[in-house]
Structure 1
């Protein structure tokens, strides 16, 4: 819903889609491309310039960027994509802790239609090349088209951030640069949540579970999600002792992974639930049961184949009513998601800010299996 004093423009919906997004920072890709082709020049993005302002400031252990350069040409035969897009194309750089973002890219590569939506297919380093590329993301209820140049930060001719395993393939690095521009800088990608990146790739919503409080049917939820081609990721917690680290059997603490498979197999006549993970680092892997070298007699399982109001209410209104559900405290997440089973009736959704009396804009998305009616009541001054 719009913030106070703002009104929704119905014509905006016609351009607010993956195929017809809004121009981020009012930069029109086709116009900028044609200008470069007409003037026979390579594009230089003044709004995300090739200097340390785009790298940004790191909060902890800032790397030395004094030697960073942004060459127009890093290799003699650059390609956007070499032999298709794969989760094995890239590895995390040594400077930036954005495994959450790279894990989301790994999930993205499984769904080619979504990949084409994020990375339009017309770009290349050959036909009509002008040093300009564009990517599409969903941000806070709007699809946006993000323009970048193809200058990437390097030191000693090596990319500072995400790098391809083939030196002449650049789609991962350019995708990362476009997302860094949206977020403000490369440093702003240092730590985050995979759910946020997956939302920005798809425009969808997310389900989040912690294993120690997950529902009993979590496996069924995951199996249905995987069968329906949902993008899935996971993260590991912090460990404090060597014993805790050993229990992880190669899973890296405080790390994010792509879920690349959810399977049930039969071993010795017993069902076994398996989850396959991809480490965006490209190194360090699971060493426990079912890891490489684990021996078992397997049989694959056969596929069986997953109203609202707003305004100002008195404190008595809330005191007299028992909430159906509520969030336990404020959380430092971009999106809060809750799932409910509700009896037919009228329900009130109450967003809140940390400090009483604050106002803020937000996006409220409601999904229902049954017909649902919503009503927005504009707050009136007393």
Structure 2
């Protein structure tokens, strides 16, 4: 039997992190002591109160039945309270909060609700690959907005032509930003709201890293800007904030009409998040937030060690204000893929080539702060021996 993949799969580049896992496995099989700075998967454990609450909830047979498609009312109320306390944003739990099986799932499904063949999504470059893949799966096209260091890694919306804007249905933004670690302030979000209102574009803000910030910096929510709720939604996740990546729990908040469209897609393709995990999520959002402050302290310490080490070898690295990524320029004469390959083969260090996040990521590699400080010190020592 001859099987052919659908055209949409053939159009996708290899999934970046899957390839990194393959290369890492190859090296380990050869006995190499690999330091993995590639994938942003927190190594810090999920806080114990959250785990204990899951255990209790999992013992309740009532939680073993199908959950609500849109999420438990208790969890959605908890999200609304957290947003009010953290950002000063008022949300109606019934219509302006939607539970997700991780924010990636929601982002991936959103274009199916609003993109028709031939429509455009404005996608930053470099960016989390899901924005483009989701647009492609919906039959749309990605129009890339390059993020450059000289612009603070913010897209230039003024450069979007009128013809492009007329075909655009969605605008993806992500701050604090993966992979660059850049942050956005109120004036940028105000421009986004103005652009979206003028052109009838839905804003999709991926805000998964707002709680991974350093030096006292407090990232804001896009929804804090007046009028933001009229034009878009914000995706959030418990994955990074509470080291719950494997739990798959997130939420989208904001415009009720947009969330209704996303919810309609979800009701046809999934059956909601496990109630016991949502109950554990309530514990995360409403429990002692000291665990978040401790995680920030640990990641900040690691950031400082890595940035100082990279600067010692002559790499022009800016310490990020948020996220647990360091966006590192490649040495002169190296492409991002070449530098990644040298670090891997000669130093046993897994990093991510910036070009894998989009064309505008060329000239950079991304390093994740998701190993211990001691392992980061070892990585720096290995890089120093390379004589870049």
TM-score by length of 2: 0.27
Determine which structure has more spread, i.e. the larger CA radius of gyration. 1
TM-score by length of 1: 0.27
